[in-house]
Amino acid sequence: MRQHKLALCKEHYLEWVPEQTERFIRKYGMFGHDDKILVAVSGGKDSLSLWDILVRLGYQADGLYIGLGIDAGIGYSSESHRLAEKFANDHNLKLQVVDIEKEYGQPIPVLAQISHRGHGKPCAVCGLTKRHVMNRIARDLGYDVLATGHNLDDEAAVLFGNTLSWSVEYLLRQGPVLPSADGLARKAKPLCRLYEREMTAYAILRGIEYIYEECPFAEGSTSIYYKEVLNRLENDRPGAKLTFYLRFLEARQTGLFAESKEPADYLHPCSNCGQATSAPGLCSFCRLIEKVADQAPLVSNL
Ligand code: Q46
Ligand code: ZN
Q: List the chain domain ranges.
A: 9-301
pLDDT at position 302: 47
Percent of the chain with pLDDT strictly greater than 70? 93
CB contact set of 19 (below 8 Å; sequence gap of 6+): none
Strands of 108-160 (E only): list them. Answer: 145-147
Q: Name the pLDDT band for 276 (thresholds 50, 70, 90).
A: confident
Atom 5 of ligand 1: nearest residue by CA position: 123
Query: How far does the centroid of ligand 1 lie from the alpha carbon of residue 170, in Å?
Result: 19
Statement: residue 38 has pLDDT above 80: yes
Residues with CB under 6 Å of ligand 1 are 122-123, 126-127, 215, 217-218
pLDDT, tens digit (0-9, with 9 covering 90-100), for 84-97? 999 999 999 999 99
Query: Are the CB atoms for 53 and 20 separated by under 8 Å?
Result: no
CA distances from 196 to 46, 157, 237, 241 (A): 8, 12, 17, 11
What percent of the chain has pLDDT above 90? 76
**Model's pTM, two decimal places?**
0.91
SS3 148: coil
Can you tell me which atom of ligand 1 is nearest the CA of 112? 5
* Tens of pLDDT, residues 215-269: 999 998 999 999 999 999 999 999 999 999 999 999 988 887 766 555 555 678 8
* Residue 119: per-residue pLDDT: 66
Average pLDDT rounded to a whole number, residues 113-134: 87
Residue 193 has a pLDDT of 98
Pocket test for ligand 1, best of 46, 65, 126 (most atoms within 8 A of CB): 126
The per-residue pLDDT for 258 is 66
pLDDT of 178-207, one tens digit each?
A: 998 776 789 999 999 999 999 999 999 999
Pick the residue whose CA is nearest to atom 1 on ligand 1. Answer: 123
Q: What is the pLDDT of residue 231?
A: 98
| CB 1 within 8 Å of CB 189 | no
Of 189, 192, 197, give the one whose Cα is nearest residue 152.
192
CA distances from 164 to 27, 171, 219, 226, 245 (A): 28, 11, 21, 11, 14
Residue 118's pLDDT band (boundaries 50, 70, 90)?
A: low
Closest C-alpha among 52, 137, 57 to residue 86: 52
User: What's the number of CA atoms in the CB half-sphere (13 Å) around residue 25?
Assistant: 23
Do β-strands 95-99 and 186-188 pair in parallel, antiparallel, or remain unpaired? unpaired
DSSP string, 13-71: HHHHHHHHHHHHHHHTT---TTSEEEEE--SSHHHHHHHHHHHHTT-EEEEEEEE----
Atom of ligand 1 at shortest distance to CA of 122? 5
Q: In angstroms, rounded to a whole number, what is the distance separating the alpha carbons of residues 176 and 243?
A: 15
Residues in the 5 Å CB sphere of ion ligand 2: 270, 272-273, 283, 286
pLDDT at 246: 97
> What topology is assigned to 9-301 in CATH?
Rossmann fold (3.40.50)
Separation of alpha carbons 61 and 40, rounded Å:
10
115 alpha carbon to ligand 1 midpoint, in Å? 16
In 207-295, the DSSP E strands lie at 268-269, 276-277
Q: Is the pLDDT of residue 74 over 90?
A: no
CB-side exposure of 222: number of CA atoms within 13 Å?
10
The pLDDT assigned to 298 comes to 57
Q: Which of 168, 157, 235 is nearest to 192 (CA)?
A: 157
Kindly state the average pLDDT of the residues 52-72. 96
CB 128 within 8 A of CB 146: no
How far is residue 3 CA from its own chain's centroid?
A: 24
**Under a CB-based contact definition with an 8 Å cutoff, are residues 237 and 2 in contact?**
no
Average pLDDT over residues 134-152: 96
